[in-house]
Amino acid sequence: MDEHTDGLADARAESIIEVEHLTKRFGAKLVLDDVSLVIEKGKTTVVIGPSGCGKTVLIKHFIVLQRPSEGQVRFEGRRIDDLSERELARVRTRFGYLFQEGALFDSMTVAENIMFPIRQHYRVKSSRELEDVVKAKLAMVGLDGFQNYYPARLSGGQRKRVALARAIALNPEVILYDEPTTGLDPIRSDIISELILKLERELGITTVVVTHDMKSAYKVADRIIMLHNGKVIADGNADYIRNHPHPVVQQFINGQVSEDDLAVLRMSGSAGTAQFLPRDFEE
């Protein structure tokens, strides 16, 4: 066992996703540096770390929206990082995901948004059956009755909840959330955290949450993994992370600005240096 874990990834827990010696580079930039970890079935794993440290890139590897530069990804014991897009499409139906760019379709009603993945993957049953599915999914997120609304009429928190209903449309075994509470006020954030817990409890879903929000992390996590400079620097339950001796972990969880961040702020005198990066999908 390595010194950074508390033994939580115990042998009894069944793994569902395994990442082994995963390295990811974009050109010369090293984003993930030989990361190995296991996501346990039925548990909630939270990934934290400073902005740009590779959290989104890591979880995109779980469904192979990114391919490793080196290393492997396995789902239910089967290697998936080398599958074709066609084979991956089938694997991905086992996942629900809520990525930052995965907004609702504005031109579709709430009901149509939720039906969309079902229609994409299955020959559609009767519209009555579809309506029942939509109703059940919306009830899960407390929004039954909003079927005919367009996203523009919903608040930010409600839109997140509809996106959540859509993410569970195909009854996934694993759900990946990328910064689900970003942009929400504390009360709405708390509602999302409660929903994450509810879905885990009621549907037995394996959950992975990327977040900046330590309040949400402590609330939902069975286990917290902290990434820094492309490596896992801490991996354990909430108490373990709270009491972790690594100064970078303490700085992060207490929301302190590090000396490195300050140095960057002092350097960037001009506002004209902002850059946009193609951070979504490869290609």
Ligand X SMILES: Nc1ncnc2c1ncn2[C@@H]1O[C@H](COP(=O)(O)OP(=O)(O)O)[C@@H](O)[C@H]1O
In a 13 Å sphere around the CA of 75, the CA atoms on its Cβ side amount to 20
Q: Does the protein bind Mg ion through residue 56 (CB under 5 A)?
A: yes
Contact 59, 47 (CB under 8 A): yes
CA–CA dist 2, 43 (Å, integer) = 21
Q: Which does 52 bind (CB under 5 to 8 A by kind): ligand X, Mg ion, none?
A: ligand X
Instruction: Work out how close the CB of 280 gets to ligand X at its nearest, in angstroms, rounded to a whole number.
Output: 7
From 8-16, 50-58, 161-169, 265-273, give the range in contact with Mg ion by CB under 5 A. 50-58
The reply to whether 53 sits near ligand X by the rule CB under 6 A is yes
Least distance in angstroms from the C-beta of 163 to ligand X: 18
Q: Which is nearest to 230 in space by CA: 10, 21, 11?
A: 21
Give the separation between CA 69 and CA 29, rounded to whole angstroms. 11
**Token couple for 23:** 């390295």
Binding mask 23-42 for ligand X (x = CB under 6 A): ---x----x-----------
- The residue at minimum Cβ distance from Mg ion is 56
Q: Which amino acid is residue 196, in one-letter code?
A: I
Please pick, from the candidates 16, 22, 48, 57, the single residue that binds ligand X as defined by CB under 6 A. 57
Could you say whether residue 181 binds ligand X (CB under 6 A)? no
Q: Please count the other Cβ atoms lying within 10 Å of the Cβ belonging to residue 133.
A: 18
> Which residues in this chain contact ligand X in the complex, by CB under 6 A?
26, 31, 49, 51-57, 277-279, 282
